[in-house]
Structure formats: structure tokens, C-alpha cells
Amino acid sequence: MLAVTSFIGFTGLVVLISYLKTRNDTMTTSDDYFLAGRSLTAWVIAGSLILTNLSTEHMIGLNADAFAHTVAVMAWETTAALAMVLTAIYFLPKYLKMGLTTIPEYLSLRFDQNTRVIATILFLFSYVVAILPVVLLFGAAGLESLFDVSGSLDVSKQTAVWIMVWAIGTLGSLYAIFGGLKAVAISDTINGIGFLAIGLLVPALALIYVGDGDMLGGLSTVYNSAPEKFDITGNEPGSFLPFGVLFTGMIVNQIFFWCTNQSIVQRALGAKSLAEGQKGVLIAACFKLLGPIAIVLPGIIAFYMFKDQLGPGDSMLAYPMLVKEILPAPMVGFFAAVMVGAVLSTFNSVLNSSATLFSQGIYQVFMNRDATGREMVWSGRACSIVLAIAAMIAAPMINTDGSLYNYLQKINATFFGPMLAVIMLGFLTRFVTARSAKIAMIVGPVLFYLLTGTFDGEVQSIAKSMLGTEDNIHFLHFLALVFLITAAMMVLISKIWPEDYKEKSLDAHKVDMTPWKHAKSAGFIISGLVIIIYVILAQ
């Protein structure tokens, strides 16, 4: 009962504060609804960035991967900090100077309207196929593990998952549909405080538990029991995340996700000034360095405690088992509230970004060129409703065999490489054409799917023969390959069918563009810390 009470109390507090902070907002213009009136401050941006990204697919999924493999999976988090430095120093000043609302909007300025439409469709498709349903499924699975919802309701586990998916999805939709980005950002910040607190508390209490009151002793015990689990290079045969991918597909993945992905960048686009935006992104990068303590270390501790009880196929249960073992009942309820809050934060943030993309890139282009601000807002809300329902229907149908986190990243990678090639060549060259960009965004994802899906067996066989290895080639290597092929194809097409450089100048910045004076030095320190982490944990 105490667990349920603390769960309802914290969840209700988040709802109440979000409502009080936004109840007088009019939401009659696109900037009001989609960019919080360009009023977000550094800490709100940082909190929203972290919670938009971190959710149960990290808390449960990455800890499950750490349980089954090694701390090498923390590369998804630590290398993200490097990409966030790049966002703050290079990308964000460009975006804010142009006064952008969406990333595809830039493509319409650099190339043409059709390029923008294709990019918008790809973004929306990736959100509804990968992020939205997977986030809901992880949240439902976590609640089932913690509270035995199926037993309490006397229904099957599948039915319980359906119920929780629709309950979480409906609540998350309300934030995005009625509150806009400001409500999303505020709820993200509050949930972020809870996420950080509980995320760091779980491994601390677990190590104290293992060490009989001595946290450092517990860490020593866990390390000495399986030192190979702490090898960050991941270079064991058939590695789940080999060290080499950090220099190929991981670079492409992180730059796209943190520098050009609408659901992430939109938080920084809502900054009240360039300085606030840069500070927010870099603060979030610092939290990324703490992330592995909360979403990787507990998986290693769970391996020490439960390796004889859980097989490789049960790794998704590792983190919930650890939580129930070491947290008192009231804290379990608080943890569940934080976990649901993390799900809501990611879900409603992606919905808000989807609404922005649809209203700006589809509705205004094809349906109502002269749409008023209010009509744009309502079109975004309609899009959010449709996508939310689609995600809630799809979530329980996802195959949960294997790593769901890897599934999420692989689906996203289908679009990341080609879209990053288009955006980067748009920034860095003048001769690359709209024709080449449109072809790249269609051919690139198809090529990646063929290499890693349809003809995966044949491609792996050829690649292993060429490289003289018996281990499968990681999909991130193919992501880098597709990125390079797409970029080369764009250059070739542009040379064969050249076009005049027609980039429109939208030097229409709407905020103070004075940069934060410590941005570069902070970025240098963060980059150095990432390198130090790898040096310390390399074996």
C-alpha cells in the first residue's frame, strides 16, 4: 500500500506542477505550442534533453544488456556527450540564427520543399515504428515486474501489458496534446530530478547491500567476482558492442541523434537565447557521463546477485529484481513513479516533436498554406492523437526476444545514416543538389534494410569471408558504410546533374545570439572526461 501511495503521490505532483505552470498559456501560435514561446532556460533544457532520451529502454534495457554482456554498452551514453558538445558549439548557433522550428525546415531552405517532406515522413515513420511503441512496452514490462499487475488484476500478463500501455500512453498524450513543449519540458525537468535521485540511489544501496554496509567494499566484491564485466572495450569474441564501432557507426549514430534529430534538438530550439541553449546542452552532456552509474552498473551488480537465478533470456528481469531486493516498499513506489515519469517524458516529447513536424512539414505544405497559428496547433494535436493510438496498438505486438534496446537502435539506424549525409553535405557544400538529397533519403534506408535485414545472412557471410573473421559484423559498421555510400552517391549525382546553389537565407534569429563565454572550455573538459573514462575502464 505504501508503494502505491508514493507512486500516486509523486505522479500527481508532476501533473499538478505542470498544470500550474502552463494553465495561463494561450498556445495560439506555433512558437507558443511547439517551442514554448522560445522561453526555455538552461536547466529546463538540460532536464528535458535527458528525460527525452533516458527512459525505461535505458533503465531496464541497458541494464539488461550489461547483465548479459559487459559495461561496454555504456558507449551509447558516454559517447553521446561528445556529440552534445558538437551540438552546443557548431549546430545550435546555426539553427538559432536561422530561426528554425524543425530540422526538415532547414532542408527546404537548402534544397527544396519536397526534400523537407521526405525528411518529415522519415522522422515520423521512425518515431511511430521504433521509439513510441518500444518506450511504452518497456514501461509496461517494468511495472509488471515491480507490482505484479497481472496477479493483482487476475488477468494474463499479455492483458496486463495492454492495460498499462494504454494507461501510460493516454497520460503521456495529454501532456503533449494539451500542454505543448512547455508542459513537456517542465514535467521532464521534475521527472529528471527524480530519475537522477533514484537512478544513483539504486546502485549505491545495492553496493551497500553486497558489502554489508560498506559501499566501496561492495564494489570491490562485485568487481573481483567478474572483472571481465568491467571491460569497456567489449573486445571479447563476438562482442555485443565491439570497441571498433566507436570509430564507425557510433559516430554517425550519435551525431545524427544529438545534433540533428528533431525530438532532441527541439528542446534547444526553444531556448530563450543562444547562451541558455548552449548551457542547457552542455549541462545535459555532464549528466550523460553520470548515466552509466544508473543504467549500466546496476546490471553488473544484478549479475553478481542473480546470475544463478536468471538465464541469458531473462536479463530484462534483472533490474526490477534488484530494485525489489534492495529498496524499501515506499521507495519502490517512488521508483515506479520515476520510471513511469521517464516513459511519459520520452513519449510526450516525441509526440510533441511529431506534431511539430506534421504541422510545419505536411499540414502547412499540402493542406493549408495560409494556416493561422491556432490551426497549426490543432493540426499538431490531431497528429499526436493518431500517432499515440498507433503506438499503443503496436507496442504489445513487438517481439521481445533478444535485446529490445538493440532493436530500437537498429530500426533507428535505418534512417540515421542517409539523413545525416543529406544534412551534413547541405551544411558543408554548395554543389550538392536537391535531386541527390531526395534520392539519398529514399535509397539509403532501403540499402541499410537490405544489408542488415533481407539479405543479412548472405551479407554477413561475404563480409566475414573478406575480413577473415568468424564473428558477425556489427550493424553499426553497416550504418557507417551506408552513410559513406549515401554521401558518395549524392556527390556523384550532383556532379552528373549539377544545379545552381539556391539556399535561401533565413537570417531571422528570434533570440539573443550572444554565445556562452565558457561553451568551448566546457566542451573541452567534457570531451577530456570521456577519454579518461575509457582509459580507466579499458582492459
- Which domains are assigned to the chain? 2-18+33-537 (1.20.1730.10)
Q: Where are the alpha helices (DSSP H) in 453-499?
A: 456-467, 475-496
pTM score: 0.86
Q: Nine-digit cell at 104?
A: 526538415
pLDDT at position 195 is 77
Residue 494 pLDDT exceeds 90: yes
Asked if residue 447 has pLDDT above 90, the reply is: yes
Mean pLDDT of 138-161: 79
pLDDT per residue as tens digits for the range 287-334 = 899 888 988 999 999 999 998 888 767 888 888 889 888 988 777 777
Q: Specify burial of residue 472 (Cβ count, 10 A radius: 0-12, 13-18, 19+).
A: middle
Weakest-pLDDT range from 5-19, 40-54, 64-78, 475-489: 5-19
Q: Where are the alpha helices (DSSP H) in 55-179?
A: 56-59, 61-68, 75-86, 92-98, 103-110, 113-126, 132-147, 149-153, 157-174
Give dist(CA 440, CA 445) in Å, integer.
8
In this model, does residue 481 exceed pLDDT 80? yes
Q: Which amino acid is at 141?
A: A
> Taking the alpha carbons of 49, 53, 58, 62 in that order, is the dihedral positive or negative?
negative
pLDDT-derived band at 342 (thresholds 50, 70, 90) equals confident
Q: What string of H, E and C letters represents the secondary structure of 42-83?
A: HHHHHHHHHHHHCCHHHHCHHHHHHHHCCHHHHHHHHHHHHH
Which is more confidently placed, 82 or 499?
82
Give me the pLDDT at residue 2, please: 57
Least confidently predicted of 323-337, 446-460, 475-489: 323-337
Number of Cβ within a 10 Å radius of residue 369: 8
pLDDT above 70: percentage of residues in the chain: 85
**Which helix (H) or strand (E) segment is 183 a member of?**
helix 180-210
Length of the chain: 539
Greatest alpha-carbon span in the chain: 71
- How far apart, in whole angstroms, are the C-alpha atoms of residue 182 and residue 180? 6
pLDDT recorded at residue 183: 63
Look at residue 130 and tell me whether its pLDDT is greater than 80.
no
What are the φ/ψ torsions at residue 483 (nearest 5 degrees)?
-60, -45
Residue 218, pLDDT score: 93
Could you tell me which residue, 332 or 278, shows the higher pLDDT? 278
Distance, CA of 181 to CA of 187 (rounded, Å)? 10
Read off the pLDDT of each residue in 18-33 and give the average, rounded to a whole number: 58
pLDDT at position 400 over 90:
no
Task: Please report the sign of the dihedral spanned by the C-alpha atoms of residue 244, residue 248, residue 253, residue 254.
Answer: positive
Burial of 168 (0-12, 13-18, 19+ CB in 10 A): buried
Mean pLDDT of the chain: 83
Burial of 398 (0-12, 13-18, 19+ CB in 10 A): middle
Buried residues in 507-516 as b, exposed as e (16+ CB within 10 A): eebebeeebb
Q: What are phi and psi of 512, to 5 degrees?
A: -65, 125
More confident residue, 472 or 446: 446
